[in-house]
Amino acid sequence: MVTKKLDVLWAPWRMAYIKKANEPGCVFCKKLKKKDGLKNLVLYRGQVAFVMLNLYPYTNGHLMVAPVKHVRDLEKLDAATLAEMMKLTQKMIKILKKVMRPEGFNVGINIGKVGGAGVLGHVHIHIVPRWNGDHNFMPVIGATKVMPQALAEVYALLKKELSK
């Protein structure tokens, strides 16, 4: 019998996430109650929707566009909210293309637990920039994802462009 050595990745910053995962309340609604900035990762607030960086991104520049109003289901959003969410999605893709130069995007909405939603009660759109080769052997072989750019750096790049 061959046994594989267990690799351990030391990530003490994850404990804050683990502790907060079971806290009551919506992560999006909590962020909206705070001042915009790097601490809450909110990049932009519109009339009825907002944009924020994903704290645990799939790739650099992974953004989320959500309604300000706490709504679980896409079909319950009014026309104005849907329109602003799509306009913000379009605007952020344009900005990401300019400042990060991705080669493609995944844009999607995960609805329900079996649909992959991590935040079940507040519908949101994911914008995930993609580059050729951004998925490699590390997640498969090493069970480790490599993020080549810090959230603070990504936030500053995008915020600067949004300010123009």
Following DSSP, what letter does each residue of 76-102 receive, concatenated? GS-HHHHHHHHHHHHHHHHHHHHHH--
The amino acid sitting at 160 is K
Q: What is the pLDDT of residues 65-77, one digit of tens each?
A: 999 999 999 999 9
Q: What is the pTM of this model?
A: 0.76
What separation, in Å, do the N-terminal and C-terminal C-alpha atoms of the chain show? 62
Q: Which residues pair with 66 in a beta bridge?
A: 50
Kindly state which CATH superfamily the domain 14-162 is placed in. Answer: HIT-like (3.30.428.10)
Catalytic residues: 124
Q: What is the pLDDT of residues 125-134, one digit of tens each?
A: 999 999 887 6
